[in-house]
Amino acid sequence: MSVRRRPYETQPHSPCLNLHPCPGTPTPAHSTVTETHVITTSGLTKVYRSRGREVTALDGVDLHVREGEVYGVIGQSGAGKSSLIRCVNLLERPTSGTVTVAGQDLTALAGRGPRAGRELRRARSRIGMVFQHFNLLSSRTVRDNIELPLEILGTPAKERSRKALELLDLVGLADKAGAYPAQLSGGQKQRVGIARALAGDPKVLLSDEATSALDPETTRSILQLLRDLNRQLGLTVLLITHEMDVVKSICDSAALMDKGRIVESGTVSELLATPGSELAAALFPVSGERTGEDRTVLDVTFHGEAATQPVVSQLARTYNIDISILGAAIDTVGGLQIGRMRIELPGRYEDNVVPIGFLREQGLQIDVVGADAQAPVLVKDGAK
């Protein structure tokens, strides 16, 4: 899969540790993405066996996550998302295939026994994980929960305490160090979970449906926190979700899983520009049926500056045609305005070759819908 780097607007770096900007100091918003693959799975297969039956959860999954990006894996329940993310840090042992994280082949470190060896445990300590249901110990304070992985690593008590307080400040919970999980809201519990995942200074953060148990407003705040951590700390984030809004909000790249396989993958911008992309259709669903036989229905995808231009009205004036808008959706993805519109032109496809060419000349992605889909398909590199 070829990818294109999409830079973010750069702003002066904030000297503050807390992700909330200091007075008068903007929050950094630069791209951390490089072309180096920090997570790679090759031919990853996971088969569960129970009572003489076999269930294939992963079926030859090839995944490539670039350093510094937020990569979302989306799919319905049973698609294999959770099995995939648990195989990435070998909480689940793959049946076959390899998992490489930060240049280390974790499957080679696993050995044959059920318990993780010293080398695998050391490698796992550099991979943080955030769980759907928080997994906090109710008998421990917030600070003690964050210190737990450091205790396991044998970190001295003074250093553990300092690190826990620093992380609490980082996630906006500096005043909750002595509280217990029962005294926290769902969003606060997830922030504690994120702080605990960062205790080992990981370069990779795995998120297993981290927002699915939260209300919409809290979900947005947690997603923003993950994006801020990604940008400020240079974290590579691999998250799984069944919510398209999560991909739309913070993901640089995405993959669609179905029946244990990745059926589509690429950067979000590439996917949106790929004819027939299932992910693009799900991110920006548009609907509408043709009003007659002699009509051409088009799905038009707008990117960046084109999303703010009056292209449809220009088309109507230039060719003196009546255009019906059957449906539309527009949103901001990665700081860029992206939208889709379904329009109807009078006449069959062969009657509208020139107007369709005009739209493509404006930098728009055009898909012909339905029976008239005889237009030449422009295949984009990058998205699969």
- Alpha-carbon distance of 238 to 253, in angstroms, equals 10
**Banded pLDDT at 335 (limits 50, 70, 90):** low
Q: What is the pTM of this model?
A: 0.79
Residue pair 326/287 in contact (Cβ under 8 Å)? The answer is yes
Domains of the chain listed by start with CATH number: 37-126+202-272 (3.40.50.300), 284-372 (3.30.70.260)
Reduced to 3 states (helix: H, G, I; strand: E, B; else coil), residue 209 is coil
Mean pLDDT, residues 98-110: 90
Q: Which amino acid is at 236?
A: T
Instruction: For 112-141, write each residue's pLDDT tens digit.
Output: 655 667 788 888 888 999 988 888 999 999
CA 79 to chain centre: 16
**Contact residues for 213 (Cβ-Cβ < 8 A; gap 6+):** 132, 133, 186
Checking if the pLDDT of 264 tops 90, the result is yes
pLDDT at 58: 95
pLDDT of residue 378: 36
CA 264 to chain centre: 13
In this model, does residue 18 exceed pLDDT 60?
no
Per-residue pLDDT band for 185 (boundaries 50, 70, 90) equals: very high
What pLDDT does 78 receive?
A: 87
Question: What is the sign, positive or negative, of the torsion defined by CA atoms of 113, 114, 118, 119?
Answer: positive
Helix axis angle for 142-152 and 157-170, nearest 10°, is 130
pLDDT value at residue 110: 77
Nearest Cα to Cα of residue 342 among 305, 274, 291 = 291
pLDDT of residue 11: 35
Predicted local distance difference test score (pLDDT) of residue 112: 63
